[in-house]
Structure 1
Amino acid sequence: MLPGLALAACLLAFASTAHALFGFGGKFKAVQASGGVVSIPLSEVSDGKAHYYVFKRDGFAVKFFLLQSPDGMIRAAFDACDECFREKKGYVQDGEFMVCVNCSQRFHASRINEVRGGCNPSPLERTIGPDSVTIRERDIMAGRGYF
């Protein structure tokens, strides 16, 4: 009986760790477009943490994240890259870095939206207003091939 309890405890610990590291079960917040744009309040993303979103349309679920880098800039990228997107694993945050879950490459937050190609998080165009970040629906849907 004891080995069964130990196995159950290990599985529970693994599930808890996986949820904390990879956000299984609630990592992505669904967003909708209004007038062709998705609008996300700056107050929601101005804390230095990665915030993950999903936009669903025409049978596609396009995933992206917003992150305020240490320089105060709000960055946006698809939760995918040109190299590892087929694995559908995306990125997790480790302090000031975004880390590819598939290949473990690390990218400083200040590089998001600045560097393209390879395993860099694929940039997503965004506009920063006084109260919100807006992203055009067509720019989000341009990344549907990653998902």
Structure 2
Amino acid sequence: MVGCSSSSKESAANNSSEASTSSNSSKNSDSSSSNKESKSADSKAATTDIVPGIEINKADISTTAKFYPYEADGIKMEVLALKAKDGTIRTALNTCQVCYASGKGYYVQEGDELVCQNCGNRFASNMVGKTKGGCNPVPISDTSKVDDGSKITIDKNYLDKNKAYFSNWKA
């Protein structure tokens, strides 16, 4: 069994930051205001114009973790979602950032904790989506999902970029 250690390779894929949209500034002061409005609109579009990969109905989420399957280039993946004690809905890839290469670095819920099936690390469900690095579920950043009030849509491009975490997955 592969154990979690700080010397383990921590990332299967470089989690590149989302590409930001920018407009070229004009030297003309009249068009400067127009460019500012365009930048603001582009920024909003970059946040909401994601390619749907997984859609999660928020009404279906409770304190019991739900698991959503996804497939990228023949690699089976999973996203977990649950409601934290503070009422917020948390999402993460259902794989451990350290143990993923073992094929058993995924989580099963036991009470209010998620337990890594490779090393046994216990992770408070309240921390899903908040803690990055170590033996924790891979968080899904706000830039990789959209919450429209009734559903959460996770970006297909984000999921596809992170398929390496699941290449040995045996869940």
| Structure 2: runs of 5+ lacking an equivalent | 1-49, 167-171
Please report the TM-score for the alignment, with normalisation by the length of structure 1: 0.70
RMSD of the alignment, in Å? 1.5
**C-alpha distance in 1 between matches for 2:153 and 2:110:** 25
1:3 counterpart residue number: none
User: 2:157 matched to 1:141?
Assistant: no
Offset of residue 96 of structure 1: 1.5
Offset of residue 50 of structure 1: 0.6
Whether contact under 8 Å (2:72, 2:159) holds in the other structure is no
**C-alpha distance in 2 between matches for 1:88 and 1:80:** 9
Offset of residue 63 of structure 1: 1.5
Which residue type is aligned with residue 131 of structure 1? S
Work out which of the residue numbers 111, 134, 150 in structure 2 matches 1:131.
150
Which residue type is aligned with residue 143 of structure 1? N
Work out which of the residue numbers 120, 124, 145 in structure 2 matches 1:108.
124
1:80 counterpart residue number: 95
1:35-114 pair list within 5 angstroms: 36-37=51-52, 38-45=54-61, 47-89=62-104, 90-114=106-130
Percent of residue pairs bearing the same amino acid type:
30
Which residue type is aligned with residue 138 of structure 1? N
Which residue type is aligned with residue 120 of structure 2? S
| Structure 1: runs of 5+ lacking an equivalent | 1-34
Please report the TM-score for the alignment, with normalisation by the length of structure 2: 0.61
User: 2:98 matched to 1:121?
Assistant: no
Q: Which has the higher contact order (CA 8 A, sep 6+)?
A: 2
1:72-97 Cα offsets, whole Å, 9 max, x none, are: 11111111122110222210111211
**C-alpha distance in 2 between matches for 1:129 and 1:110:** 22
Q: Moved runs in structure 1, 4+ residues, more than 4 A? A: none
